[in-house]
Structure 1
Amino acid sequence: MHSIKTAGILGLGKMGGPMAKHLIAKGFNVVGYDPVPAAGAKAAADGVRVLASARDVASRCELAIVVVGFDNQVEAVVYGKNGIVEGAKPGLIVALGSTAAPQYTRTLAVRLAKRNITLLDIPLTRGEQAAVSGKLLILGAGDEAAFEACRPAFSAFASDIFHLGPAGAGQVGKMVNNLILWACTAANDEGLRLGQALGVDPEKMRAALHHSSAQNWAMDWRAEDSGMPWAEKDMNILLREADMVRLSLPLAGTTKEVIKGLKIRMGLGLPEGFE
């Protein structure tokens, strides 16, 4: 398996932009594309060679990392007009950093393999601050030789990297992570509101709980303050996947509704692109 010298980033926003910057700092050549001019301009200022399309990026790199929000956006980047497949050379590795349904990811891997393109799923975890600090978590999957060839590039922006199995396994890992994350967020909200209703200041309660058996990442990092743009998408994916394997997950269904209610109370709508 060839070594990676040039990496491409498809999606140069809040996650992809910092990732590109870290890759450059580690000595990789980085090309990229984003349909939002401001994102492209910022990336160019950071040293990214910003190109006109995903096709152009695919033609100039050995590793193309896709960092977009939804399955339909992944499909457009890969198979749409001026997409990755139009410019890819045989042997290209596509790493899917987006959170997507495992079933879709497995199917995408098979489709790309017919074009001699290898798909790795590397759904990114820990959020925007971790992207900025270069401490993302990768729950990876796909061909192991290709994954190891990409490990030096992944290490530029991720501090913890795991390979969980064949294509789609990374997305399964992300689903499990998301279920536990949003369940904790829901429990935190109800617990802090209960404490407040009974006369305890939420911030004092939060500080105390950090040292208790109830301590959790979602509380420490205030997951609710992110606006939780992907929470409902995350829960929809995992509930559909559970339905397909005939698995009852009552806590997951409740968590989805609690998170939706929390977002409604906060005045938050669905993210652009939600289907």
Structure 2
Amino acid sequence: MTAESIRRVGMIGLGKMGNPMCRHLRKAGFEVTGTDISEAVRRNLEAAGVKTVATASEVAAASDFVIVVVGFDSEAETAILGPNGVVAGAHPGLIVGVASTVAPRTMTRIAARLHGTGITLLDMPLTRGEPAAEAGKMLTMVGGDEAAFAAVKPALNTFADAVFHVGELGAGQVGKMVNNLILWACISANHEGFRLAEALGVDPGRLRTALVESSASNWAMKTQIQNQPMPWAEKDMRIVLGEADKLRLSLPLCGVVKEVVKSVKYERGWPTPEEPD
């Protein structure tokens, strides 16, 4: 397929990321079909001109390009490979992009199951969070076939203002892992630094105004993302540590960061999504 031929985009998962992504695609003139396990979520999006259906297989049948943006690896695999998944409704030439943050080995596992189906698989995890999703200013790192990437890039540009092809299938998820490790390390350092300032009688808010202009500045500090709930932090770090263990690679900072972020969430009463059984 070419960029000109892809006009029908499907979305599996219509939550805080998938919902605005659908709206941006629709506004840009794409024909959008979406699904979510929640009927109420589906009804809500229909008001924005997005056609919704009950199953991922129906999304696949109505689409040239299907984006999967669900919470966990197991959900992504079920959405694509399950009884009512993408494969059940797929047609030759279909491109599937996994926008969920999953382990690189999950992409490899899905790709092996798709061999011979005529489906092209890309990984395209998203960064910058929910505010960027609403603004259409996310960043995505894409791994997989370059021709497929070129074909879907105009669709990606409707909700992401930074779109990069970073290598073969799985490379996008590796990029997201590295992004997450560095991001959570910055969040942890910011948290401890401002705790120190407060303990010494300095107002953290006033200090932050200075620090965002200093050599200590970082994206997390500028956006104050550490003041927002961080539902996926532990999952992000589990993926990083799991890949490192498989490679027998020691990442001691990652383990510390995971515990710091967990303690912040416990302290503030922020929830952590549970992977479905």
Q: Offset of 1:269 from its aligned partner?
A: 3.4
The answer (yes or no) to whether the contact 1:233–1:274 under 8 Å persists in 2 is no
Q: Offset of 1:81 from its aligned partner?
A: 2.7
More divergent stretch after superposition (164-173 vs 81-90): 81-90
In 2, Cα distance between the equivalents of 1:128 and 1:201? 28
In 1, Cα distance between the equivalents of 2:270 and 2:132? 23
User: Which secondary structure state, in structure 1, belongs to the residue aligned with residue 79 of structure 2?
Assistant: helix
Please show how residues 1-275 of structure 1 align to structure 2 within 5 Å.
Answer: 1-2=1-2, 3-273=5-275
The answer (yes or no) to whether the contact 1:186–1:259 under 8 Å persists in 2 is yes
Q: Offset of 1:255 from its aligned partner?
A: 0.6
More divergent stretch after superposition (84-93 vs 175-184): 84-93
User: Which secondary structure state, in structure 2, belongs to the residue aligned with residue 200 of structure 1?
Assistant: coil
Using the size of structure 1 for normalisation, the TM-score is 0.97
Runs of 4+ displaced beyond 3 Å = none
In 2, Cα distance between the equivalents of 1:163 and 1:106? 18
User: Which secondary structure state, in structure 1, belongs to the residue aligned with residue 24 of structure 2?
Assistant: helix
Using the size of structure 2 for normalisation, the TM-score is 0.96
Q: C-alpha offsets along residues 103-123 of structure 1, whole Å, 9 cap, x if unaligned?
A: 111221222133111110000
Q: Structure 1: which 5+ runs fail to align?
A: none
Q: Structure 2: which 5+ runs fail to align?
A: none
Quote the sequence identity (%): 55
Partner amino acid, structure 1, of 2:162: D
User: Which secondary structure state, in structure 2, belongs to the residue aligned with residue 164 of structure 1?
Assistant: strand
